[in-house]
Structure 1
């Protein structure tokens, strides 16, 4: 007998997307696929289909065989697994086991180059999104972030049958990859970087510095749910939110968790208004002074992380205005339970984050290679990993060979990132610097707490790894 549907703990009723606007709207927020919507809303779904007559006894044997069921379910995307999880206890057990086994990352991209537009726009995935996402990070350049396309030109078409309206490509990503969860952080930037693995289906969409300037791209990184790893997004919309939202969230989190890393994306107008305000990020160190963490960030154009943000963009399309969200800072926080660090459970999973700053003085290829190689020796190499690269546009032709050098040191690590006009980060582990080392600081030369975070003409790498450790860190 089928069991009652069990909604995952990360799902809220408000997470189910409802369409907005009237028929005259040129762009509309996508609703989640009909089967998922019916499942989570617990409503009946009427579909026209032709029944295929099969050997009922054979079907029962297959459906009751754990090994066969697990193998079949292993090929399904995570949204389908959620529904299969509620068929019976055996299927639920198979899905739960697969969620612990299928924890590899994936990357994806949409290219707006002319050759792809002729054949229809398609979200190209390096792999199936097998397991419920922990975090999806999306970068869209100016030519790709705010564009909309008719439903019928998108592959696979998000509506069945295709509607007559246009859809934001960012909304399409959210619909295909994340919905019905809320764990996507989309970042609007001037330019992006993207380097998939060579055998990957997305490798042909690698984005170099020159190509990014003349083409529209949306790229993203998909990290599945990892046992004992938590992720949340903090959006700061005004200065007073720093205390009422950010610090209160950190205080609450610090009661049970250690912060392992933070990805920070700052609206340029916020920094220009008052550069000193960015020092609030040092609060992370105040709440856990003896536990190191990774931090990387960049000054960007805008961020989108929830339905309200998307609705603002859609309103802009329909009113002919380039509207932006109210986010002045968006922070993605990774944490693990303190109990997991103190006494890792048997069903846990290795997880850690590290960050490297290539400062303005790391200008020659030799210095860059030395810094990356030193970093590669100091950190463990994990079975599964991604790296987020945030770099200053002013580093000129260094971008491509920085990526190549990092790929050489971490050959199995997917890379995605962006370019901006100011970077945030810390070195974890700390870098060894000669006594004569000097660096150009951002905005002013006198010492201050901001300069432990903010840099210019720099590149920040944030390495995120989990699973088995392939190569341990070398002791220093």
Structure 2
């Protein structure tokens, strides 16, 4: 009964938040004034009260590398961005901290009644210490389009609070990713979210399929990793496949290898012709001898740039559920073919595991995950993205539990859809022959065989830093 009351209350709260007052329409957030001034190279004067102190002591502190580095280590990455321009010593301290503070973080915005009694808050597992490589956000149907009054948001995105509504995904981007353009938001029916057990965000974990009525946004923050680059290729039409995707891959392949790919496909595209998705195999054509991981899911929509975000805000203000023009969003993690210097080299790799339709029993699921854990390296820093079919019924909880047992220090986020994409890296042995009366079969009737799956779960494991346990060759 208590759970029913909570869901009912969440529905009412979501409905209130999604109702747009014409006089207080949702507005796009501007850059924080000090960041805007920095980017435009403009002088910015703040009103402040000067603290009288020993000037010689202040100079000694500001010019002592050890002290400065210690102070800067507690700042968020946007503040470090400004501090790099104070002097060469401060810049050096920030660069050193980027190599030391390389841990990921996770975050959540939940509109369950128990989480919004004192305001709608962005919960972070840890401070975002280092400039992000990528911010991945997964929102369920209600969470994707929700807005709220500026004054109800913690921390407040405007100073002082304005009288307008704000789109929560825009707030998230403003607080976590801005001024970089490195965030991808995915809209799906349901989300997965499993922080570490002793994390500040553990109370927000999603242990069962989250209902559409309870608005939720959860995600991962991955910091800059030496020599690793991240980019998103948005495909908006079939013509974009040769014009955008293949052209981008050809250019990238001149100097870099793909280590991992995340693929989010709009259902309307895949239903048009499932064979169209085989263009992803072009990655194998450009690097036939270099393995890579791949995982994906059929989702409702993706938002990855300011144009997409502005379009969604327009839809919120019009009271319509608008969709971006992205029919496929492909996220690529790449590394250089040749390292210029060994000093900045960082171990980085991506692996993927597909639990197919025949991996149906607890024993088979656990055996597959444990086998995967034995074959891949375990890194000091890691995250996993889980993309699963809603049709796997009640398998979701114990799949996550088995993965957490095998990778106890790995944060997990993801989403559910109605079709999955993936490549096993390392390869799995072929399944045992099955009787012809088994209803849940792999989608193996076309050229998408080996890439497109149904009733499956795909884990994409991303690791960097030191390898903490030996692993078998992949």
Alignment TM-score, normalising by the size of structure 1: 0.92
* Alpha-carbon separation, structure 1, partners of 2:189 and 2:210: 13
Alignment check: 8 A CA contact 2:191 2:210 kept? no
Alignment pair present for 1:362 and 2:363: no
Aligned pairs (5 A) from 1:384-399? 384-399=381-396
Out of 425, 435, 447, the residue aligned to residue 428 of structure 1 is 425
Query: Bigger shift: 310-319 or 411-420?
Result: 310-319
CA drift of 1:475 comes to: 4.5
Whole-angstrom CA distance in 1 between matches of 2:212 and 2:233: 30
Aligned residue pair count: 449
Corresponding residue of 1:70: 69
Cross-structure match for 1:36: 35
Distance 1:437 1:470, change over 3 A: farther
Name the structure 2 match of 1:11: none
Residue aligning to 1:161: 160
Deviation at 1:116, TM superposition (A): 2.2
User: Which residue in the other structure is 1:290 paired with?
Assistant: 289
| Mapped contact 1:147–1:168 kept (Cα < 8 A) | yes
User: Unpaired segments of 5 or more residues in structure 2?
Assistant: 1-21
395, 398, 402: which one pairs with 1:401? 398
Using the alignment, how far apart are the partners of 1:48 and 1:392 within structure 2? 54
Q: Do residues 471 (structure 1) and 469 (structure 2) align?
A: yes
Partners of 2:24 and 2:162 in 1: how far apart? 12
C-alpha separation in 2, matches of 1:39 and 1:155: 24
Q: 2: CA distance between counterparts of 1:421 and 1:415?
A: 20
Task: Say whether residues 1:101 and 2:96 are aligned partners.
Answer: no
Where 1:238 maps in the other structure, the secondary structure is coil
Q: Is the 1:192–1:212 contact (alpha carbons within 8 Å) kept by the matching residues of 2?
A: no
The Cα shift of 1:345 comes to 1.4
- Once the 2 structures are TM-superposed, how far is the Cα of residue 211 of structure 1 from its aligned partner? 4.1
Conserved 8 A contact 2:263-2:330: yes
> Could you tell me how far apart the structure 1 residues matched to 2:213 and 2:206 are?
11
Distance 2:34 2:278 in 1: 46
Task: Provide, for residues 302-344 of structure 1, a one-character-per-residue CA deviation record: whole Å limited to 9, x for no partner.
Answer: 000000001111111111211110000001100000013xx87
Structure-1 separation of matches of 2:281 and 2:473: 28
Distance 1:25 1:286 in 2: 52
**Partner secondary structure for residue 449 of structure 2:** helix
**What is the aligned partner in structure 2 of residue 454 from structure 1?**
452
Q: CA RMSD in A?
A: 1.5
Whole-Å Cα distance in 1 between the matches of residues 30 and 384 of structure 2?
31
Q: Which residue of 2 aligns with 1:278?
A: 277
Contact 2:421 2:458 in 1 (8 A): yes
Alignment of 1:57-456 (within 5 A): 57-340=56-339, 345-436=342-433, 440-442=441-443, 446=445, 448-456=446-454
Q: Is the 8 A contact 1:25 1:318 kept in 2?
A: no
**Structure 1 residue 32, shift from structure 2 partner:** 1.4
Taking a change above 3 Å as real, the CA distance of residues 174 and 60 of structure 1, as seen in their structure-2 partners, is: same
Native 8 Å contact 1:350 1:468 kept in 2: yes
Q: CA separation of 1:131/1:285 partners in 2, compared to 1, >3 Å: closer, same or farther?
A: same
Structure 2 distance, partners of 1:24, 1:59, is 49
What is the alpha-carbon distance in structure 2 between the residues aligned to residue 208 and residue 190 of structure 1? 15
- 2: CA distance between counterparts of 1:134 and 1:433? 36
Task: Report deviation, 1:117.
Answer: 2.3
Structure 2 SS opposite 1:52:
coil
Name the CA distance, whole Å, in 1 between partners of 2:389 and 2:286: 30
Indicate conservation of the 8 Å contact 2:356/2:442, yes or no.
no
Instruction: Give the Å deviation of 1:433.
Output: 2.8
**Aligned partners of 2:111 and 2:214 also within 8 Å:** yes
User: What is the deviation of 1:208?
Assistant: 1.9
1:326–1:434 CA distance, 2 compared to 1 (3 A): closer
Per the alignment, residue 16 of structure 2 pairs with: none
SS of structure 2 residue aligned to 1:406: helix
Whether the 8 Å contact between 2:24 and 2:163 is mirrored in structure 1 is no
Question: Shift in Å at residue 436 of structure 1?
Answer: 1.9
How far the C-alpha of 1:182 sits from its partner, in A, is 0.5
Q: Structure 1 residue 474: deviation in Å?
A: 2.3
- Is contact 1:360–1:458 with CA below 8 Å preserved after alignment? yes
- Alpha-carbon distance in 2 for matches of 1:107, 1:87: 30
Residue 43 of structure 1 deviates from its aligned partner by 1.7
| Residues 8-23 of structure 1: pairs in structure 2 closer than 5 A | none
What is the Cα deviation at residue 258 of structure 1? 0.6
Work out the CA distance in 1 between the residues paired with 2:349 and 2:363. Answer: 28
* Secondary structure in 2 matching 1:276: helix
